[in-house]
Amino acid sequence: MTGTLPRIGRQLLGVAVFLAALGLWEAWARYADSFLIPTASAVLQKAWSVWPTSEFLTGVAASLERLAAGYVVGAVIGISLGLLMGSSRRTRRALEPLVELARATPAIAIVPVAIVLLGVGDEMQVSVIAFGVTFPVLVSTIEGVRGVSPETRDTASMLHLGAVERVVRVYAPAALPSIVAGLRVAISIGLVLVVVSEFFASGEGLGHYIHFQQAQFDVTATYCGILFLGLLGYTLNRLFLLVEHRVLFWHYGSQGEPAR
């Protein structure tokens, strides 16, 4: 009971801060009295009429499908390559220049190339999302594997574990907290790239909705789409935290950290 009350208090504080931010937005918009800054009440009223519609929800579902596909592809590539580079110094030295070059390239910069190679359909969008998701997962995985203690590595050598067995039974479990941290960061990056890729693509989606409303100079509807995007990102992050604390319960227990 004593642990529940502080948790409820933290949640109520977050709600209060959010409502205060809406109040400041409302006051600022009324004071500015500009066509480009709609009031929070107008945006919420627009959201009330737009968000439940089948057309908008169909677009949301399309964006989530692309996000899921690109996220899974990028995560698999990042974890696999990260385990390989983290466990083998020779492989890391061979691939590091190419990986760092690709990592330094903004994902949005590959959109024109992806359009030329894959067109403006789902394949292009999933590829761009996967490209952006790969690198935070890759870096976190490498650092997680490299953080395995020398004693653990020596024990694996004494037990004559093979390379694959070491990765599966030693490196991957030890690096799991770091891998999960990279996966969490990748969610927000993936969501951004969903919208960016949909700006240039055909079909439905949140990015297409925001871009279309902006082209129509419907500022209130544009803000309505942006607000939904922010709430969607918050929801995905909270869901990820729930899964994370169930997967890594042993890690948080050893750290003495409370549930979020």
pLDDT, tens only, 141-188: 999 888 877 777 767 677 666 777 777 778 788 888 899 999 999 999
Q: What is the pLDDT of residue 148?
A: 78
In this prediction, what percent of the chain has a pLDDT beyond 70? 89
pLDDT, tens only, 121-131: 889 999 999 99
Model pTM greater than 0.95?
no
Q: CATH homologous superfamily of domain 38-255?
A: MetI-like (1.10.3720.10)
Find tokens 């694959």 and name the residue: 164
Q: Enumerate the domain spans of the chain.
A: 1-34, 38-255
Say how far apart CA 154 and CA 159 lie, in whole Å: 9
Say how far apart CA 61 and CA 68 lie, in whole Å: 10
Across the range 187-204, mean pLDDT stands at: 89
Q: What is the pLDDT of residue 191?
A: 94
Measure CA 8 to chain center: 26
Q: Which parts of the chain are beta strand (E)?
A: none
The helix (H) or strand (E) run that includes residue 168 is none
Across the range 91-108, mean pLDDT stands at: 90
Say how far apart CA 169 and CA 155 lie, in whole Å: 12
Confidence of residue 41 (pLDDT cuts 50, 70, 90): very high
Q: What is the pLDDT of residue 7?
A: 66
